Chain A
Amino acid sequence: MTLVELQRRMAAAIMTPLAISGGPLRLEAEALIKRNSRLTSLKRLQIYRESYWYRALDSLRDDFPGLRAVLGLKAFDRLAETYLAEMPSESYTMRNLGSRLELWLKNRPEFGGENHALALDMVRLEWAHIEAFDAATEKPLGPEDLIELHEGMVFGLQPCISLLELQYPVDDLRIKVQAAGEDEHGAASNAVIRRKERGIVRTYSKVTPAETFLAVHRIGFIVYYRRLAPHEYRILVALREGRAIGEVVASMESSDNLELWFASWARMGWLCKARQVKGS
């Protein structure tokens, strides 16, 4: 057996969901792994299987506390196990474990619970949060850069900013879930935290859809969610797409608040120089 053959078979065995045991898995373990006087081949394999699944599930639980609150603990774990089985990690870092969850969940509405759209919105918000935490920041444009504005100018947006158009105000829910976890951290059992999370889920089970435009961004080391006006959102999206300021303004129905928004974005350091396109 070659190295790659062994690794393919071991990885397949390790990544087999924990609910599956015995039979073929035992035969595969015996074919690959020696037994000793204390542990069978399957039990030795089981140490690695449990390590893989507990580590990956813990990572997703940590990264998506809002989704866990939306779905409830059991439904979340079912979703996470299926997602990992169908979309195993393709990155060297566990940070990226949830990078394809939105895409996957779009195609698997049966895992989104009673309110699939709410779950999807929460996934988008929580992935944006992860991205904002350790994304790069460019040197923000200062007042001196904005003195001579002209129509052909192109701005960049800080890479740590994600712009989200959501059907539900999931930012409020995420903040409440986070606060519940922080309040109880170290001071209560998991059961108490779960009761608190269930309470939040009940509160939001009848949440009314409300079109929500959001910027997930970072100031210093802290990630913030900032609500945007619909027009404000569209301008920011256009800027991110690399459209010139004149073109963006011309496409707007009204220029109300424009100065206010630009001043606000500049104050928060959101604007930066546009990235050079290769070959240009």
Chain B
Amino acid sequence: MPANRLNGFTDYEIGIGLRIPHYQHILKNKPVVSWFEIISENYMVDGGRPLAILDQILEQYQVVQHGVSMYFGSAEPLNREHLRRLKALVKRTKTPWLTDHLCWGSVDGRYTHDLLPMPYTFEAAAITARKIREASSYLEVPIAVENVSSYAEYHISEMTEWEFLNEVAEQADCGILLDVNNIYVSSRNHDFDPYEYLNSVPPERVTQIHLAGHSKFERYILDTHDHPVIDPVWQLYAGAISRFGPTPTLLEWDDRIPSFSRVHAEAMKARKFMPALSPVMR
């Protein structure tokens, strides 16, 4: 499949999430990492340690921005102050693409600080797509939206989650950050076949993949990012790579964060599913 502006980042291979407990290890030991993913909001500040550390990282590494509070799916307009700060950060990092979640989290100017599931309606798809287009135009960088884990489904939904994802991506002409762990978590919480989801995603729009661990409770699964990736999620990832080809992949580990070496080793397990990668670990 020929690469396009959304899925042509195949040389990025496997990245690691940049997290505070690993700062000193990374700066001191300069581990070989293809790229780091940063949480944009952690660096959308005016100064101090966050930006100083980021600048040191940028001297040696490629950085890709991942956001958690753009809330493309909120009915209200984009937050201009957020966009202004995000653009300043985009200029700083020169991120080749930018990601955030296909979700909502604010209404009437009040923020829940959560990634809340969308109602899968045509009205919601249109509003969301318009906001993604607006943000991408302002930020001058390709945007990819990530499917979230969810624990609730609304009565008013008119389509499946994957139909909604495709509808939004098509209308916005944006990329997809496919989180295969989130597909797995939601498939267990909502009783659908994760492979039906996976096989419906258009390969030409898949910009990046996320992997993560989760926590299993008696009646549902919670996306906690505090465990290694489980085998069924690796299998789903294998299916994704088989369908989409080599795709920039990132392991998220956000709670009970182990040593950098441990996170790195877990992320590098993804290599065995990408046989086209060069033998030298980048």
User: Is B49 close to A, CB under 8 A?
Assistant: yes
Q: Could you tell me if A14 and B112 are in contact, using CB atoms closer than 8 angstroms?
A: yes
The residue among A3, A36, A47, A89 with the most chain B CB atoms within 10 A of its own CB is A3
Give A39 Cβ to nearest chain B Cβ, in Å.
6
In the complex, the number of residue pairs spanning A and B with C-beta atoms less than 8 Å apart equals 117
Which residues 98-125 of B have a CB within 8 angstroms of A? 104, 106-114, 116, 119, 121, 123-124
Given A2-B123, A3-B75, A8-B107, does the pair A133, B48 have CB atoms closer than 8 Å?
A: yes
Q: Could you tell me if A1 and B156 are in contact, using CB atoms closer than 8 angstroms?
A: yes
Given A3-B127, A160-B48, does the pair A11, B190 have CB atoms closer than 8 Å?
A: no
Given A92-B79, A221-B48, does the pair A32, B220 have CB atoms closer than 8 Å?
A: no
Q: Could you tell me if A134 and B50 are in contact, using CB atoms closer than 8 angstroms?
A: yes
Q: Could you tell me if A48 and B113 are in contact, using CB atoms closer than 8 angstroms?
A: no
Q: Which of A2, A92, A133 sits near B82, CB closer than 8 Å?
A: A92
Query: Bound state CA distance, A207 and B74, in angstroms?
Result: 48
Q: Could you tell me if A93 and B44 are in contact, using CB atoms closer than 8 angstroms?
A: yes
Query: Bound state CA distance, A54 and B119, in angstroms?
Result: 24
Q: Which of A36, A47, A221 sits near B49, CB closer than 8 Å?
A: A221
Write out the residue numbers on chain B whose beta carbons fall within 8 Å of the beta carbon of A159: 46-47
User: Is A174 close to B, CB under 8 A?
Assistant: no
The closest CB in chain B to the CB of A45 belongs to: B152
Which residues 2-56 of B have a CB within 8 angstroms of A? 41, 44-52
Given A33-B153, A93-B41, does the pair A48, B47 have CB atoms closer than 8 Å?
A: no
Query: Bound state CA distance, A160 and B51, in angstroms?
Result: 14
Write out the residue numbers on chain B whose beta carbons fall within 8 Å of the beta carbon of A88: 110-111
Given A47-B220, A134-B50, A135-B47, does the pair A7, B154 have CB atoms closer than 8 Å?
A: no
Give A98 Cβ to nearest chain B Cβ, in Å.
13
Return the CB mask of A44-65 against B: 1 if under 8 Å, else 0: 1101100110011000000000
Q: Could you tell me if A89 and B155 are in contact, using CB atoms closer than 8 angstroms?
A: no
The closest CB in chain A to the CB of B79 belongs to: A92
Q: Could you tell me if A10 and B111 are in contact, using CB atoms closer than 8 angstroms?
A: no
The closest CB in chain B to the CB of A4 belongs to: B75
Residues in A lying within 8 Å of B, measured CB to CB: 1-4, 6-8, 10-11, 14-15, 31-34, 36-39, 43-45, 47-48, 51-52, 55-56, 88-95, 133-137, 159-160, 218, 221
30 contacts between A and B (CB under 8 A): A1-B156, A3-B75, A3-B121, A3-B124, A3-B127, A7-B104, A8-B108, A10-B116, A11-B108, A14-B112, A14-B114, A15-B112, A32-B155, A34-B152, A34-B154, A36-B191, A38-B220, A43-B219, A45-B152, A52-B112, A89-B111, A91-B111, A92-B41, A92-B81, A92-B111, A93-B69, A134-B48, A135-B46, A135-B48, A136-B46
- 5 closest A-B pairs by beta carbon, nearest first, are A136-B46, A4-B75, A134-B45, A134-B48, A221-B49
